[in-house]
Amino acid sequence: EAQVTQNPRYLITVTGKKLTVTCSQNMNHEYMSWYRQDPGLGLRQIYYSMNVEVTDKGDVPEGYKVSRKEKRNFPLILESPSPNQTSLYFCASSLRGRGPMNTEAFFGQGTRLTVV
Amino acid sequence: GESVGLHLPTLSVQEGDNSIINCAYSNSASDYFIWYKQESGKGPQFIIDIRSNMDKRQGQRVTVLLNKTVKHLSLQIAATQPGDSAVYFCAENIEGNTPLVFGKGTRLSVIA
């Protein structure tokens, strides 16, 4: 089954304690991205990756890092989490290329992060 | 989860009626648009897309209309069912070149 898998689904952590949220896709997609979703603000892109070893900042990259060492994985790293990073996070992937439906994004189930 | 639905515009429709969800997009250069559905506790799911060389596209029970003149997109759902209750997002981009930009979303509530 084609899917995007995030882990963990729920996480409560303390300020300053480094954490990583993993994301993996099994569709051989080139493009992957991370979003955060907050009430009243909708989905905002944090980082994206056009392909292996290629990453770029999205709209709200501050406080986050990513890496893309393999095509299937795109972890989100919070080196020193703060309470304003409490949010619902989604990883997404899509096939980046020519032709129809090349930017439809498939989303993971989400990770609800609480930083206290 | 439910908290992402707070502060959103809400459309309430009777089961069996047609629903129309509207979206004003921001970039006149955008040429690709998608509607997503997000149910409580889940990630957004693709519903239908449309390119700027079209003004209408139909799927199963859904129709997307695009008016480039006023930068407006709408999603029509025929014979709305309780399972259609969700938050609906439009997204836009310049195809293949830029990341998707999402609208704020509209909550659809179906009254049985």
pLDDT tens figures, B63-84: 999 999 999 999 999 999 999 9
Across chain A, which has 116 residues, the per-10-residue mean pLDDT values are 93 97 94 90 89 91 97 97 98 66 78 98
Instruction: Tell me the C-alpha distance between A90 and B90, whole Å.
Output: 16
The residue that leads in pLDDT, B94 or B16, is B16
Out of A35, A104, A109, the one facing B46 most closely (by C-beta) is A104
**According to the model, what pLDDT value does residue A103 have?**
61
Instruction: Tell me the C-alpha distance between B48 and B59, whole Å.
Output: 7
Instruction: Tell me the C-alpha distance between A3 and A5, whole Å.
Output: 6
pLDDT tens figures, B3-12: 445 568 899 9
Cβ contact A39–B93 (<8 Å): no
**According to the model, what pLDDT value does residue B96 have?**
60
Taking a C-beta distance cutoff of 8 angstroms, is the pair A14, A114 a contact? no
Cβ contact B49–A104 (<8 Å): yes
- From the list A84, A76, A81, A82, the residue with the least C-alpha distance to A110 is A76
Query: For residue B72, what are the β-bridge partners?
Result: B24, B67
Out of B43, B49, B103, the one facing A90 most closely (by C-beta) is B43
Are β-strands A10-13 and A111-115 bridged in parallel, bridged antiparallel, or unpaired?
parallel
Q: Is A101 on the interface with B (CB under 8 A)?
A: yes
Q: Is B50 on the interface with A (CB under 8 A)?
A: no
**According to the model, what pLDDT value does residue B97 have?**
63
Mutation pick from A25, A43, A101 vs chain B, by most beta carbons of B within 10 Å, is A43
pLDDT tens figures, A94-106: 876 433 444 678 8
Retrieve residue A28's tokens: 């051989």
- From the list A100, A42, A8, A58, the residue with the least C-alpha distance to B31 is A100
- From the list B93, B95, B57, the residue with the least C-alpha distance to B76 is B57
10 Å Cβ neighbour count for B58?
A: 12
Q: Is B30 on the interface with A (CB under 8 A)?
A: no
Out of B43, B91, B93, the one facing A110 most closely (by C-beta) is B43
Give CA angle at A12 (A9, A18), nearest 5°.
95
Taking a C-beta distance cutoff of 8 angstroms, is the pair B23, B11 a contact? no
